[in-house]
Amino acid sequence: WAHWRWLSLCLHTGAQQSATVANPVSGASLDLLPHFQLEPEDVYIVKNKAVSLACRATPATQIYFKCNGEWVHQGDHITQHSTDRSTGLPVMEVRIEVTRQQVEKIFGLEEYWCQCVAWSSSGTTKSQKAFVRIAYLRKNFEQEPTAREVSIEQGIVLPCRPPEGIPPAEVEWLRNEELVDPALDANVYVTPEHSLVLRQARLADTANYTCVAKNIVARRRSASAAITVYVDGAWSEWSKWSVCGAECTHWRSRECSEPAPRNGGRDCHGPELDTRNCTSELCSRAAPGAEDVALYVGLVAVAVCLVLLLLVGVLVYCRKKGGLDADVADSSILTAGFQPVSIKPSKADNPNLLTIQPDLSTTTMTYQGSLCPRQDGPAKLQLPNGHLLSPLGAGRHTLHHSSPAAEGADFMARLSTQSYFRSLPRGTTNMAYGTFNFLGGRLMIPNTGISLLIPPDAIPRGKIYEVYLTLHKQEEVR
């Protein structure tokens, strides 16, 4: 009440003084209510920066701020006086600062607000409320756009709900990192819910779309959504029917090109070529033309080439076979794999040589040529018990063919097994001997379980080798 008494006294005194002032405008201004030229507006505190609130009124004798129903201390006001040049009325402007700590004291209870109260001789006037809020922006979007595949000319809606924030975030869209401006593209617009709408999808709309939310605090990006606009293939018109050919048929074709499939679109379904029989009037039975003659000539040329190749192969085969027959004339040697060849009779001066007595009932056939591989000098194989085995020498070689009347069943059985051995038990030493050609075979010492296997083609074709297999016991080696 003392304050109001002092204010009334000042106004009364001012009224008395104004009666003596010659300026009527100044006297009339005391009867006006304060009018705000500047009112405080909503502000946001970013991080820890304090914000400033200001108001300006005319005519006003005093201006004070009130925040959340409490008067701000007079010392926190910054006051500035001036005069309105157009009216000559006094103008007062007041500012205060609000910190983050002041707002956080009542955070959660209610919003922090402030307003100005201006006095004049006629009364008081209040400004609008200005809210002071702490600004922020969450990291996660409430809804993000997702990848889609759409057919051409189909509509697309890409939803986007930005993160929660104060002030609310503004939303913009990026197409391949370039800003989408609906003002420049009539096919695109953004809904009030921030969704991006493409009225009719075009091939050029195939891109990666990103929703961007931002306010005064931060800028957030959603995950990019790949939009693929595909085109299903469609057939072109059928071509005209072709001329009837020699087979009395004609055809027509079409292409999957109107449009051709793109960006994973479906291919055309159905045949690309259509063939039909010609009618009797259109059917042509003319003689073969130049194309048919060329075809026949080509077939004949191919046949001739095949016959020549076959003849060359036969000649090569016969030559190889002839070379083999020159070295081995007895066909029984080729078919049996190996057959016994006559062994040199023992000499009188060496009783230890292996000896097979000749059979006078056998017929002897003599062949020219070598049946064994040649060596530079006559080499002999020295056996532990003094046996000397010498390879067949150069010159004539004799193959014995037994007659059924002269040879016994034992010799025929040895021939049928495609192996030949001659065992000479001398003490504890045994030996087997045989001749082999390219077919190979097996050489074995009876009653010992020891054998020698010669694989096919181990001996060159056209050659016959003599092979000796001996068994030595430990006491004989000593």
Rounded CA gap, 424 and 141, in Å?
Answer: 102
pLDDT band at 291 (very low <50, low <70, confident <90, very high): low
What pLDDT is attached to residue 86? 85
Rounded CA gap, 180 and 195, in Å?
Answer: 12
CATH number among 2.60.40.1220, 3.20.20.70, 3.40.30.10, 2.60.40.10, domain 137-230: 2.60.40.10
25: pLDDT strictly greater than 90? no
pLDDT (average), residues 335-363: 39
Q: Which of 33-47, 111-125, 464-478 has the lowest mean pLDDT?
A: 464-478
Nearest to 65 by CA among 102, 100, 33, 31: 102
The residue with tokens 């493409």 is 198
pLDDT (average), residues 189-215: 94
Between these two residues, 254 and 14, which has the higher pLDDT value?
254
Q: How many CB atoms lie within 10 A of CB 139?
A: 7
pLDDT band at 307 (very low <50, low <70, confident <90, very high): very high
Rounded CA gap, 382 and 192, in Å?
Answer: 112
253: pLDDT strictly greater than 90? yes
Q: Is the peptide bond before 59 cis (omega within 30 degrees of 0)?
A: yes
Q: Where are the domains of the chain?
A: 2-134, 137-230, 287-327, 331-477
The residue with tokens 């607000």 is 113
Between these two residues, 92 and 348, which has the higher pLDDT value?
92
Q: Which of 38-42, 84-88, 434-438 has the lowest mean pLDDT?
A: 84-88
The residue with tokens 């007079």 is 74
Q: Tell me, what amino acid is at 153?
A: E
Rounded CA gap, 242 and 253, in Å?
Answer: 9
What pLDDT is attached to residue 6? 36
112: pLDDT strictly greater than 60? yes
348: pLDDT strictly greater than 50? no
Question: For the chain, what is the mean pLDDT?
Answer: 74
CA dihedral 326, 332, 334, 340 (to 10 degrees): -100
Q: Tell me, what amino acid is at 460?
A: P
The residue with tokens 């057919």 is 151
Tell me the three state secondary structure of residue 311.
Answer: helix
472: pLDDT strictly greater than 80? no
What pLDDT is attached to residue 323? 53
What pLDDT is attached to residue 195? 94
Q: Which of 70-84, 101-115, 423-437 has the lowest mean pLDDT?
A: 423-437
149: pLDDT strictly greater than 70? yes
pLDDT digits (tens, 9 = 90+) for 136-148: 999 999 999 999 9
pTM of the model: 0.47
CA dihedral 403, 407, 409, 413 (to 10 degrees): -70
What pLDDT is attached to residue 282? 59
Rounded CA gap, 257 and 272, in Å?
Answer: 11
Percent of the chain scoring above 70 in pLDDT? 67
What pLDDT is attached to residue 337? 41
pLDDT band at 151 (very low <50, low <70, confident <90, very high): very high
Topology alike, domains 2-134 and 137-230: yes
Cα radius of gyration (the chain): 61
419: pLDDT strictly greater than 60? no
Strand partners, 134: 45
* Structure-block tokens of residue 315: 């000649």
344: pLDDT strictly greater than 60? no
391: pLDDT strictly greater than 50? no
What pLDDT is attached to residue 400? 38
pLDDT band at 476 (very low <50, low <70, confident <90, very high): low
Strand partners, 375: none
CATH 3.40.50.2300 applies to domain 2-134? no
Q: What are phi and psi of 422, to 5 degrees?
A: -130, 110
4: pLDDT strictly greater than 70? no
What pLDDT is attached to residue 276? 87
Rounded CA gap, 160 and 144, in Å?
Answer: 5
* Structure-block tokens of residue 385: 């018990």
pLDDT (average), residues 200-222: 94
Q: Are 335 and 473 in contact (CB under 8 A)?
A: no
Buried b (16+ CB within 10 A) or exposed e, 399-427: bbebeeeebeeeeeeeeeebbbbeeeeee
Tell me the three state secondary structure of residue 113.
Answer: strand
